Structure 1
Amino acid sequence: MPTKILRIGLIGAGMAGQAHAFGYRNASMADPLRGVQVELAHVVDAFAPLAQDVAERYGFEKWGSSVDELLADPSIDAVSVALPNNQHVDVLTKVLASGKHVLTEKPLGLDGSQASQLAALAADPARKGTVDAVGFSYRRIPGLAALRDAVAEGAIGEILHFEASYYSDHAADPAVPFTWRFEASTSGGGALIDIGAHALDAIEFVVGPVREVQGANFATYITERKDATGTVRPVTNDDAAAVLLVAGRNAMGVLQTSRVAYGRPNALTLTVFGVRGSATFSTEDFNQFTIHLAEGDPRFDGPRRVITGPLHGAYSDVSSFRSRGVGTGYGEAFIAQVQAFLGCIVNGTQMETNFAAAAATMRILDAANEAAATGRAVPVETGAHA
């Protein structure tokens, strides 16, 4: 018999919401969650047929379109939120007021101001004992987690500089229809906030807090698109961005991101250079990372490829076989994210990617926007970091 039952609600049944559902369906793979029974209680979406489809495919007991109805259900312990960025403040304010645990997709709102507002609500003493978390799933990938551990343990020494990128081609075709993602007022930004936020989190996860944006540049290459009705709409956010950063103790680095990078459908890469070596992880080589140690026989030195396995991150809790080389994928990162969230609920702890940490990431994005507009370096306002 289970020792604890956790009932889950899901708000938003699109691709991200379905990834959350996939995570909950497989969360019990983790040994620390042994005895915890996860029940998928209720899924809602503004487009009710989509909610119904997700309910039937993932096993939710109930579906509908009313957020208020879901939140009014006292049997639901925790809620996942996967909605367009401009809906975060309204919906998350309601979720926080309900007293339920919450895991939401990134980014946290449209900008630093909205994120800080939500972080303050999450920190209200009335919510003591509840978990608030933002889904930066890439840090759950075993290869990136292993790279972080190597850096934290001093394997390559103090980090001097780094480079990060996140390239995607999901918007490279001008025929891709206009959606909320191409409108600044509903998205808060383009490639940098949408996919670049994951790269920023990877930088902070491995290198340390971003302290200053020394420069930034944004570009929009496809300036208009047709919406679903055939109406031509202007694109009001960035297709690509380049940002110069200072992070950690005093490491200099650059972040480049693009949603129009043909041939790179989903590629997040981070390389760090230390005083005694370097290390790289890329989602294009999901189940490995490379590390180079500047010691030993120089005739045979060079980056060493490390295949991930049970010693790396959440591998043992998400892999179908607990053996090295079997591998994990994008979906397993969502499983690990949900496992961490549920583990915090069970143990009465907070996620390292809580609302306060996510608000700090949003302040970096604000600083990048300011740097691009003014041409000046912008210190990042201090705050909580993961």
Structure 2
Amino acid sequence: MIKKINVGLIGAGFMGKAHVVAYSNMPKFFWPAPAVPVLKIVCDVEEEIAKEAKDRFGFEEAVTDWKAVVNNPDIDVVSICTPNDSHAEIAIAALEAGKHVYCEKPIASTHQDAKAMSEAAEKAAKKGIISMCAYQYRRVPALVLAKKFIDEGSIGEILNVRAQYLQSWSADPDSPLSWRFQKAIAGAGTLGDIATHVIDISQYLAGNISEVVSTVKTYINERPVQEGGVDLLGTVKLNGDVKKEPVDVDDEASFLVNFENGAVGSIEATRNAWGRNNFISIEVHGTKGSLIFNYERLNELQVMFADDPEDRKGFKTIYTGPAHFYGEVTWNIPGMNIGYGELKTIEAYEFIKSVVSGKQPSTSFAEGYKVDLVTEAVMKSSETKAWTKVGE
């Protein structure tokens, strides 16, 4: 008989939906599943949202206090999809209560909280408790293949990494004020929201970043306060005259990086790039070749090997499919392709598999903490206008 695992979801907004879809779809793709997730309790501070999520997604119970999830003896797994400032309190309490924790990124709104979460996870791991920080782009088959090429030495020693994450949803000044524009809750703006993804990918492929020098900018200094704008991404129709409140986080972060292995790189992220809806670009250049990934062509990896004959040198495109990472269990026909939903489903599978096996997964809370240390260095460098060591 397939094991069942009871899930408590805390935060029923955009990412809460992503977790629910991932849990629900996981056994449909991965069968026999390591365990079948059971949607037990959903929690949101807004009672209407919690009740709607219960009915919409099929949870057995809806609550407004996260402690009712963490302290429930029937709950095995806690998914944390709340604003960043609450991650640490909830995650640490859940780990201490013996719950396995699947937490959205960034791991926390401050590096101090991230450190506390990492330490709590390390302590809980000794008791067999699993924790994961949700950096789903590590699960892109093309990036897993890129990592394989790098580890095998196919492109030689890494010299340079170039990474971009560009979105457009906050380019309009009428995009409503939400927690994502408030430092006390989010910790940072674009830097914490999306730059963290390409920091994680860069470190996944090329190793830890050791120092940075950065420029951080805020382009739109105030935004309209709109009812229902708590988790909206993008512009909504404004209802008459609305008041505006200050934005105290970054709209763009650009920084040069040095890696511990001697490689150099550049990372750029903004949510104010008209025409770029969810553009992620990664280039890795080595002594024997290069790799290019573009999220707008999610199922492709461009590769170039310097040892190819002169008349055949140049970038070639590999189309990922059944022969690649989890390709045989998603859509096992070449060219059918995967998208964001499948990435979250793969991530949920990795998490549930780890819960059953007792083996800690990637991305760990410790890895999430390392990303937060980089963002902390970026913020410091933007103030001092100087190279800043990561972790100092």
Q: Same fold (TM over 0.5)?
A: yes
Q: 1:203 to 1:126 in 2, by over 3 A?
A: closer
Instruction: Tell me, yes or no, if the aligned pair for 2:130 and 2:355 is still in contact at 8 Å.
Output: yes
> Aligned equivalents of 1:304 and 1:333: distance in 2?
24
Inter-CA distance 180–35: structure 2 relative to 1 (3 Å threshold)? closer
Residue 287 of structure 1 aligns with which residue?
299
Query: Which residue type is aligned with residue 269 of structure 1?
Result: S
How big is the shift at 1:30? Answer: 5.2
Q: Secondary structure at the match of 1:316?
A: coil
Work out the CA distance in 1 between the residues paired with 2:316 and 2:178.
43
Any conservation in 2 of the 1:204–1:248 contact (CA below 8 Å)?
no
2:257 equivalent in structure 1: 245
Q: Does 1:268 align with 2:280?
A: yes
1:357 and 2:367 matched? yes
- For the 8 Å contact 2:191–2:269, the answer to whether it is kept is yes
Tell me, yes or no, if the aligned pair for 1:33 and 1:343 is still in contact at 8 Å. Answer: no
Paired position in structure 1 for 2:208: 209
Please name the residue that 1:80 is paired with: 79
Alpha-carbon distance in structure 1 between the residues aligned to 2:33 and 2:254: 44
In the alignment, is the contact (CA less than 8 A) between 1:27 and 1:338 conserved in 2?
A: yes
Deviates most, 324-333 or 220-229: 220-229
- CA deviation digits over 1:87-134, x for unaligned, max 9? 112222321222100000011111211100111222225862000110
Residues 109-160 of structure 1 deviation map (CA, whole Å, 9 limit, x = unaligned): 1121110011122222586200011000111111111111111111111110
Residue identity in the other structure for 1:95: A
Of residues 337, 347, 361 in structure 2, which corresponds to 1:337? 347
Q: How big is each residue's C-alpha offset from its partner over 1:294-346, in whole Å with a ceiling of 9 and x where there is no partner?
A: 123322321101100122223333x2x21221100001110011100001111
Native 8 Å contact 1:11 1:67 kept in 2: yes
Letter in 1 for 2:324: H
Name the count of aligned residue pairs: 378
Q: Which amino acid aligns with 1:112?
A: H
In structure 1, the gaps of 5 or more residues are none
Return 325-334 or 245-254, whichever deviates more.
Answer: 245-254
SS at match of 2:215: strand
Residue 254 to residue 37, structure 1, CA distance change in 2 (3 Å): same
Which residue of the other structure, out of 189, 214, 225, is the alignment partner of 2:223?
Answer: 225
Partner of 1:43: 42
Q: How does 1:168-207 map to 2 (within 5 A)?
A: 168-207=167-206
Counterpart code for 2:346 = A
Distance 1:238 1:126, change over 3 A: closer
SS of structure 2 residue aligned to 1:328? coil
Percent identity reads 31
Deviations 1:189-218 (A, max 9, x none): 1111110000000001111111111x1001
TM-score by length of 1: 0.94
Computed over aligned residues only, the root mean square deviation of the Cα atoms, in angstroms, reads: 1.6
Alignment of 1:1-386 (within 5 A): 1-2=1-2, 4-29=3-28, 31=30, 34=33, 36-124=35-123, 128-213=127-212, 215-228=213-226, 230-317=242-329, 319=330, 321-381=331-391
- Distance in structure 2 (CA, Å) of the matches to 1:357 and 1:347: 20
Task: Give the corresponding residue for 2:237.
Answer: none
2:361 is aligned with what amino acid? Answer: M
Note if contact 2:139-2:343 (Cα within 8 Å) is conserved in structure 1.
yes
CA distance in 1, matches of 2:184, 2:103: 20
Please tell me whether the aligned partners of residues 9 and 43 of structure 1 are also in contact (alpha carbons under 8 angstroms): yes
SS in structure 2 opposite 1:291?
strand
Task: Check the 8 A contact 2:44/2:65 in 1, yes or no.
Answer: yes
Secondary structure of the equivalent of 1:120? Answer: helix
Cα separation, partners in 2 of 1:297 and 1:194, compared to 1, 3 Å:
same
- 1:19 is displaced (CA, Å) by 0.2
Q: What is the rounded CA distance, in whole Å, between the counterparts of 2:112 and 2:372 in structure 1?
A: 8
Preserved contact between residue 35 and residue 352 of structure 2 (Cα < 8 Å): no
- Cα–Cα, structure 1 residues 126 and 289, in superposed 2: closer, same or farther, change >3 Å? closer
Please give the TM-score of this superposition, normalised by the length of structure 2: 0.93
Matches of 1:86 and 1:33, distance apart in 2: 37
Deviation at 1:175, TM superposition (A): 0.4
Looking at structure 1, the residues matched to 200 and 69 of structure 2 have their Cα atoms a distance apart, in angstroms, of 31
Moved more, 229-238 or 175-184: 229-238
CA distance in 1, matches of 2:286, 2:20: 39
Contact 1:28 1:34 in 2 (8 A): yes
Q: Compare 325-334 and 52-61 and name the one that shifted more.
A: 52-61
Runs of 4+ in 1 over 6 A off after TM superposition: none
Contact 1:134 1:353 in 2 (8 A): yes
Shift of 1:57: 2.5
Identify if the C-alpha distance between structure 1 residues 126 and 342 changes in structure 2 by more than 3 Å, giving closer, same or farther. closer
Structure 2: runs of 5 or more not aligned: 228-241
Helix, strand or coil: the match of 2:79? strand
Deviation at 1:41, TM superposition (A): 0.9
Report the secondary structure of 2:328's partner residue.
Answer: helix
Do the aligned residues in 2 keep the contact of 1:99 with 1:127 (CA within 8 Å)? no
Change (3 A) 1:35 1:108: closer
